[in-house]
Structure 1
Amino acid sequence: MSQINTKLLERLSNDFAQLFETKYDYNVVVKVGNQNFNLHSLVLYQRSSFFRKELSTATKKNNIIEIILTDTSVEAFKVLIKYIYTGTVTFEEVEPSSIFDLLVPSSKLGLIDLVEYIQSYLIDNKASWLRLKFTQVYSISFQDNNFKALQTFCTDILAKHPNLVFDSDDFSSVQENALITLLKRDDLQIEESEIWDKII
């Protein structure tokens, strides 16, 4: 991409950021926790499959559509709505746990490009944190089919070190499909009898 095109895209991104900040002519209120976000249906509809579905069935009250978003923190939504409006996200100086916490709400909102970027960023830049929080990462990665990169990352580690899960205090909370994927591996380095002892 040429330098001119990059500058034009930056300008476009900044224009949409300004639209979000000024709230000019907003027609949607999204409630997240105890905070309201004044937004624009056109932007939400175009950028998010979740909002596309919500907006197509919503009814207006005084020309405003109200959407209540549950299971998403205000902090996460601030990052996600900035991404929806500007197409940008930055993770420098952001804690890995905060980045990881964006995965589920990103997927819920249908922001698949962002989900893929987050997974790639974590694997490429925060692999040591992923290993440190392995049981949590492993369990959550199998709750959503959009987390394939993390699933592969985790099962590759587990093939060599299966006791990370089997000896974990959180073993009983591991998703069934995560265990099935692991057990199907030909390169799993644990005796079958040990597996059955843990499962039964």
Structure 2
Amino acid sequence: MENECLSQLSYDFGKLFENGENYDTIIQTGNGNNRKEIKVHSLILYARSSYFRTALSKNWVNREGGIIKFKKPNISPKIFNYILKYLYTGKLDFNGYKPIDLILILVAADEMNITGIVKYLLQYLVDNHQNILQNDPVNILQNILHHEVCSQLREYCLDYICERPNLLFNSEKYLSLDKSLLLALLDRKDLFMDEIEVWNYLIKWSIAQTSIIHNIENLTNWTSDDFNLLKEVISEFIPLIRWLSISSTEFIQYVIPFKKILPENLIEEITCYYNNSKPKLSLPNLPARKEPLDSILINQKHLSIISNWIDDKVSEDIDCIMIPYTFKLLFRATRDGFNNEKFHELCDNKGAIFVVISLPNSSNLIGGYNPLDWKPKFDKRHGNNWWKTSKSFLFSFTKNTSKGVISRISRVNSLKSDKAILYNEQFGPGFGGGPDLVLSNNQLYCKSHSTYPDSQSFISAGLTKMENYEIDEMDPSDLFSYRDFTINKA
């Protein structure tokens, strides 16, 4: 009954806002051709908002013919209308609004200290940051760049862009990126791009900031003034380039043509490096960036957790930069087929690997780590072949990492480690003597949790249809080798 009454009250106030009957206030929003007057009721705004209690007070109010006139030209009519509707009805509905509109609503609501909108809309945008970046990442990033209320959202968006930089740099709009935003991106160690790509995109962006109209492919027509203009724009970015991650061939082809914009001693220092000398670089010797992760199921946070489990570290200690392993995708079911034979063709005798599984209608991923080769112990005709190890484990974690990663692990029962890994050419990857987890074509099967007892909290007994699964090969990474520092080789 109470909810019905509140719903009716919200509806009635909403109709009052729509028809504007008995209004006593006109709010002038927007400017130019996008200017609109909205008729409202000062009593409702006064009761619902501390901002309007001040703005409509006797000391500030401006009346014309008995009507309060209030101007807010920096907020568009569409955005202001949403905020006013919330103040009248107490309802929030984000459906039907473009991501950029929601961000403008957030910024405007924060400016007017309307915490009810800020709290829920900010959480909504954080939870959906991956989706809102898909169509217009440049515009989204530009609009959240300088607003403090967007700081949390900004970090999530930058993390996502660093993992998928092509989303940003394949857009023609990237040429209009704010300089401070591009500086922030290139300063990050987790920007997963080849360094020569970073350089080439930087050159194109820098030229777009000048009046240079010559062809970048032919520099013979460039004047000294052209190079000086480019040098002035690009100078702040030079220390952010990982120069030693660029091969000698790439350096000669793409960098040397622009040597006039580089510090004089840089060419000599890098040439010494290519000649196997150990130059003392005048610029910071920054760690190499990572290569993009070839996965549609997991991200760097998941990899960091798996790496910590392998090394018996605390799983909550997430460091997406210093992951001590390289990962190479061997198998993806939606690409290679839900086929046991194909799994063995691509994954047998590859060394340590891990499996990640996505199930329909589930917010979690499950999987397992095998530190051994996947191969038969005896003749393949013997059916089940079990391998002994105490280092394997089964795991589960959340797909969406925007609220952090909820992770669980089940290690081997020490009394049953002789059946930790199951090999059978008739099936896909298998774990435990139950079996605790075995994949076959597009199905997952668990009979019991005997070898990995804690897995009962995240793996259900019986048959389950799979949505997708991936298998990655992993090897120790040389964190101290500058040129060869990679992750997730595609």
TM category (shorter chain) comes to: 0.7 to 0.9
1:156 and 2:159 are equivalent in the alignment: yes
Matched with 1:7 is 4
Q: Which has the larger radius of gyration?
A: 2
Distance 2:148 2:100 in 1: 20
Partner of 1:197: 238
Aligned residues: 193
Q: Report deviation, 1:159.
A: 5.1
CA deviation map 1:42-72 (0-9, x unaligned): 2212333432332121133333210011122
Bigger share in helix: 1
Q: Kindly provide the amino acid, as one letter, of the partner of residue 37 in structure 1.
A: I
Please report how far the alpha carbon of residue 7 of structure 1 lies from its aligned counterpart in structure 2 after TM superposition.
1.9
- Alpha-carbon distance change, 198 to 170 in structure 1, aligned in 2, over 3 angstroms: farther
The residue type paired with residue 68 of structure 2 is I
Aligned equivalents of 2:177, 2:239: Cα separation in 1: 9
Going from structure 1 to structure 2, the CA distance change for 1:85 and 1:173 (only over 3 Å counts) comes to farther
Residues 46 and 152 from structure 1, CA distance in 2 versus in 1: closer, same or farther, beyond 3 angstroms?
farther
Match of 1:40 in 2: 41
TM-score calculated relative to the size of structure 2: 0.34
Q: Is the 8 A contact 1:28 1:39 kept in 2?
A: yes
SS where residue 169 of structure 1 aligns?
Answer: helix
Mapped to 1, the partners of 2:18 and 2:145 lie a distance apart of: 36
- Post-superposition Cα deviations, 1:3-41, rounded to whole Å, max 9, x if no partner, equal x33223212212221332343432211112442222111
2:16 to 14, 19, 27: 19
**Counterpart Cα distance in 2 of 1:10 and 1:43:** 17
Counterpart in 2 of 1:54?
A: 55
Distance 1:146 1:47 in 2: 21
Residue in structure 1 matched with residue 89 of structure 2 by the alignment: 86
Fraction of identical pairs, as percent: 29
1:169 — aligned with what? 175
Counterpart contact for 1:135–1:164, Cα < 8 Å: no
Q: 1:186 to 1:116 in 2, by over 3 A?
A: farther
CA contact (8 A) 2:134 2:167 kept: no
**Cα displacement (A) at 1:147:** 1.7
Distance 1:131 1:174 in 2: 22
Greater length-normalized contact order (CA 8 Å, ≥ 6 residues apart): 1
Give the conservation status (yes or no) of the 8 Å contact 2:100–2:139.
no
Cα distance change of structure 1 residues 7 and 135 upon mapping to structure 2, 3 Å threshold: same
Q: Secondary structure at the match of 1:152?
A: helix
**Structure 2 residues without counterparts, runs of 5 or longer:** 200-235, 242-490
Q: Find the aligned partners of 1:166 and 1:94 in 2 and give their Cα distance.
A: 25
